[in-house]
Amino acid sequence: MSHDPNCIFCKIVAGQIPSKKAYEDEHLLAFHDIHPWAPVHVLIIPKQHIATHAELGTEHAELAGRMLLLAPRLMKELGVGNGFRTVINTGPDGGQEVYHLHMHVMGGPRPWLKG
């Protein structure tokens, strides 16, 4: 499994940086965002270092599927029952800030709606 020693999310996977975990298995880690945009805001990341969504290949199909299937399960477990939002920012024009593939999963009242 690849790992980037300079990547903050790889350091979280390795336990070098603490996180409030919501889920963990051999492939994925989900943890609560430290700057949430919604009452429930978790990040789902692969433990394998993949820099962006654009770098996913057919060899990652099962991993990507695991990420997508985990989102509704986590929202249900975390008490979100009225829908949620998933976002994957990709590259500089897509607003990606941390270059380790991650999916934001946000539930609860929608603060991104302004009016």
Could you state, in order of their start, the residue ranges of all structural domains in the chain? 8-107
Question: Which pLDDT score is estimated for 7?
Answer: 96
Question: Which pLDDT score is estimated for 115?
Answer: 52
Asked whether residue 114 carries a pLDDT value surpassing 70, the answer given is no
Fold of 8-107: HIT family, subunit A (3.30.428)
Which letter does DSSP use for residue 22 in this model? Answer: E
Question: Which pLDDT score is estimated for 65?
Answer: 98
Q: Which residue, among 70, 30, 72, has the nearest Cα to 47 in the 3D structure?
A: 30
Return the sign of the alpha-carbon dihedral for residues 114, 52, 13, 4. negative
Question: Which pLDDT score is estimated for 46?
Answer: 98
Q: Tens digits of per-residue pLDDT, 37-95?
A: 999 999 999 999 999 999 999 999 999 999 999 999 999 999 998 899 999 999 999 99
C-alpha pair distances (Å), 19 with each of 59, 78, 97: 28, 16, 18
From the list 49, 100, 102, 104, the catalytic residue is 102
Active-site residue flag, 102? yes
Q: Tens digits of per-residue pLDDT, 5-25?
A: 899 999 999 999 999 999 999
pTM above 0.75, yes or no: yes
